[in-house]
Structure 1
Amino acid sequence: MTTLLILLTLGYFVYRGMQRRRKPTVSSPTPVARSQLQGDAGEALVQDELRRVLTWLCGANFYLYPTALLLNHAPGTSYPTAEVDHLAITPFGIFVIETKNWTGVIEPGCDADLIIRIGADGRREERRSPLRQNRSKVTFLRTMLPGIWAVEGVGVFANDACALSAALPSSLIRRSDLGQWLRERKSRHDASGRKGININAARQSIEAVRAVDPTGIALARHRALVRANPSF
């Protein structure tokens, strides 16, 4: 009887060991870069502010894409898509918003395509202007939408610990400036007497050139391509 109990006990532990070896290994997810996490946090802040301001200005008569989107702006080329952080369709304009969650002081660079970020340690970094990053996207939308519709790009700095030089272009603004900036665009449109943009028609036109990406894989590939080619 004792021998049988010993054999049963040994068999049990052998079985448990085999079960552990068969248990599938769950691979850890690919880590997200810290810069991407910071960028996502800044975009969330700007998205909330855009929705608040546009509701104030337009009521329910606007469309704000809920997430970043890809435009098929150059099919068949090495860089067929362009990422838009925020795209707002309003009766008084279509706005392409590039968000930066930077801290420090932002000053003009040596030309219109560059800006200087001065960190808390005093170090100066030359970076591409958000307006430069937006330029091809704005141009693309202007070419495929009715010419009477205003399409404009704006660079928004989301972080409260970011100070902007007065010498920067007026379309480089802080998140807290969005309300006034968009209000001025609405006032300009109203004064012109032009007919308001049809929100549904504009959205349908943009959807026709939007990359279908329900899983987010295309956006991840696009971002990887940009990281590998920073000058893009």
Structure 2
Amino acid sequence: MFLEILVAIGGYHLFKRLMRWRPSRSRRPGRAKRTAHEIGAAGEAAAQAKLRTTLQWLCGDDFYLHEGPLVIEHAPGTAFPTAEIDHLAITPFGIFIFETKNWSGRIAPSSSHGKLTRIAPNGKPEERRSPIEQNRSKVRFLREQLPAIWPVSGAGLFTSPDVVLQPELSTDLLSLDDLPHWLRLRRESFNGQMSVDIGRTRAAVLTYADTSTDGFVAHKARVARYR
């Protein structure tokens, strides 16, 4: 009987030791961190979903939201003949181009032209190109191609739930939660003007677009080559 008790005690201590050294669930294989591409794709999908529900709320079925990114040829004959629009929305009160960012941390103004300061959770600052600056040539191009009475606007849309936008930033830099109010204000300021012809605008914009897979791949390759 005494021997059985010793065996039981020894087994108990061995079990505790094994449990102490067993790898935690978070360290087990198969739980790799998401890549930057996967995180970015998730942010794009969240932005597309928020845009659709917001536009349905404001416009019913009277709008056009392009499905996914759109490559347009805005500068033929140059080193960068094409540009990518993350999200294109055409509404009765305007045409909107959104540049999506999935940055986390605190976003503040920068002293450098066309830049923003992203401050990481550990306090480290980093200069990044502003989505407003990235949108500038695309907005200018569409304004030149479309009737002046139809306003074209651009905005930077931050999709991460862990982002904090400083109040000193441009009001054209917004979180997903800011989007409904931002678009509502655009509709209010447009009130009384001639409504945008959604069908004609869509056709005009797509005239300058390359919606093929090859065109998208070629655009991505050019961007990667000059980074």
Cα deviation 1:75-113 (Å, max 9, x = unaligned): 122111100000000000000000001110000111340
Root-mean-square deviation (Å): 1.2
Q: Residues 15-69 of structure 1, C-alpha deviation per residue, up to 9 Å, x if partnerless?
A: xxxxxxxxxxxxxxxxxx9322221110100000000000000000000001101
Sequence identity of aligned pairs in percent? 44
CA offset at residue 164 of structure 1?
Answer: 0.3
Provide the residue aligned with 2:90 in structure 1.
89
- Secondary structure in structure 1 of the residue aligned to 2:103: coil
Choose 109-118 or 170-179, whichever is displaced more: 109-118
Map 1:135-174; keep pairs closer than 5 Å. 135-174=136-175
Question: Which moved further from structure 2: 86-95 or 38-47?
Answer: 38-47
Deviating 4+ runs (over 6 angstroms): none
Determine the structure 1 residue equivalent to 2:208: 209
Match of 1:22 in 2: none
Structure 1 residue runs without a partner (length 5+): 1-32
Q: In the aligned structure 1, how far is the partner of 2:104 from the partner of 2:111?
A: 20
Kept in 2, the 8 Å contact 1:115–1:127? The answer is yes
Distance 1:221 1:127 in 2: 25
- TM superposition score normalised by structure 1: 0.81
Q: What code does the residue aligned with 2:223 have? A: V
Matched, 1:224 2:221: yes
Please show how residues 1-232 of structure 1 align to structure 2 within 5 Å. Answer: 34-190=35-191, 193-213=192-212, 216-230=213-227
Aligned residue pairs total 194
Unaligned runs of at least 5 residues, structure 2: 1-33
TM-score with structure 2 setting the length: 0.83
Q: CA deviation at 1:218?
A: 2.1
